[in-house]
Amino acid sequence: AQSVTQPDIHITVSEGASLELRCNYSYGATPYLFWYVQSPGQGLQLLLKYFSGDTLVQGIKGFEAEFKRSQSSFNLRKPSVHWSDAAEYFCAVGPITGNQFYFGTGTSLTVIP
């Protein structure tokens, strides 16, 4: 069955520190992978996506993610976190059939001064 797992429910980092959010997926074919961010009271915004080609993808707001097929992972990274990065982050895989996306349960990021 197709699924997305985000093992970390909540992460706290200091401002300026590096960040890595984990995402693992189970999928029967080449996945299309996405990271979304949800700021408090806001909808979801696409950070970056991977379809094919270079396995290291760059996104908005200084985020990047690396697709590792052997590990079925698509971890999100940022070298230096800003206080405004505090939000909920969702990893997603899709489409599988039609236009369905499957999301992880999210990782809540807290940034401390």
Position 101 contacts other proteins (CB under 8 A): yes
Cis, bond preceding 40 (omega within 30 deg of 0): no
Contact status: 7 vs other proteins (CB under 8 A): no
94's torsion region: left (phi>0), alpha (psi -120 to 50) or beta? left
Q: Pick between residue 70 and residue 97 the one whose CB is nearest to other proteins.
A: 97
Considering the rule CB under 8 A, would residue 110 count as an interface residue with other proteins? no
Candidates 78, 51, 50; CA nearest to 64 is 78
Member of 23, 85, 102, 109 binding other proteins (CB under 8 A): 102
Identify residues 54-83 at the interface with other proteins (CB under 8 A): none
Cα separation, 26 vs 72, in Å, equals 7
Site residues for other proteins, window 30-49 (CB under 8 A)?
32, 36, 41-46, 49
Instruction: State how beta strands 44-50 and 3-5 pair.
Output: unpaired
Residues binding other proteins (CB under 8 A): 32, 36, 41-46, 49, 51, 90, 92, 94-95, 97-106
